Amino acid sequence: LLNGCTIVDSADPEFLASEGVDLICGAPLQSLNWLRETLTEHRFARLQVSGKRLNKGDAKELLSRFDVVEDVYGSSETNKSFSNVNTLRDGQVHTVGRPANSEVEIVDDANRPVAAGCEGAVRIRNRYMASAYIGEPAASERVFRDGWFYPGDKAVWSNTGALCIVGRSDVLVNIGGQKVDPELAEHAMLAVDGVTGAAYFADPRDGAGDQALAFLMLANQATADQTVPAAHAACVAATGQMSAPQHIIVIDKIPTTLDGTPRRSECAKIARELPDTLPR
């Protein structure tokens, strides 16, 4: 609207193509499902996705119908701040970073910018960002500092300038004093054949101690006897023996957000309500 664009409200690829639509927006999972369900042969200029990290495999599938796929990073406090721009080159996904009217830095604990490949905290500033939360002085002091907004994301720069989010400081799970990124554990388990869903969280059950618990969803053809040990081994390789879940429970459905992120607080509630006969 601000740029004089026409908004086309339709999910029909034939209609979108006939109207000359050159930008489509959505969450990664929504966009993938749209392609798979419509089986469209039309090609569009640009897709912007946001809300969840876009992996290379999904980016390649989306690029089968889009010339450019932009993985947008931003927040309501700063608006769109940065994009990882994905294109296909010789059949491979090529990703470069592009700031969007913002300064985006990754800094260490002393607020010094880090080199490519080094993990740090993301901070953002631009001319139109929020400066505080109304009626929330403690939260404002925590995330708005010295003219920068600190969204709580941990990231690294790639060698092509892409912003690679590796986790969040506020969702890390403390297992035996070690901070574990639950997404790292979940991605490792999802890479195992037969695993269709995974959630990793601190075991909330009485007497569980300081350990992790995981839920898995399995494909119809998968057997728990083979798949669960493989998922545990993958998690050990990704997070270490001490941080891997002490118990993995197969359930029919893991609660998730619309973009597929596990609702770990709801998973913890389900775990607390499981029968006492289940392993601890």
How confident is the model over 249-258, as pLDDT tens digits? 999 999 998 7
- pLDDT at residue 179 in the model: 76
DSSP string, 60-98: HHHTTTEEEEEEEEEETTTEEEEEEEEEEETTEEEEEEE
Please tell me whether the overall predicted TM-score, pTM, comes out greater than 0.75 for this model.
Answer: no
How confident is the model over 102-153, as pLDDT tens digits? 999 999 999 999 999 998 999 999 999 999 999 888 889 989 999 999 998 8
How confident is the model over 94-114, as pLDDT tens digits? 999 999 989 999 999 999 999
Distance between CA 68 and CA 267 in Å, rounded? Answer: 36
Query: Taking CA 160 as the corner, what is the angle to CA 154 and CA 166, rounded to the nearest 5 degrees?
Result: 20
Distance between CA 128 and CA 98 in Å, rounded? Answer: 18
Rounded to the nearest 10 degrees, what angle do helices 182-190 and 224-239 cross at? 140
Residue 198 to residues 58, 125, 155, 169, 180, Cα–Cα distance (Å) = 18, 35, 22, 20, 15
- Is the pLDDT assigned to residue 233 strictly greater than 70? yes
- pLDDT at residue 280 in the model: 44
Residue 1 banded pLDDT, cuts 50, 70, 90 = low
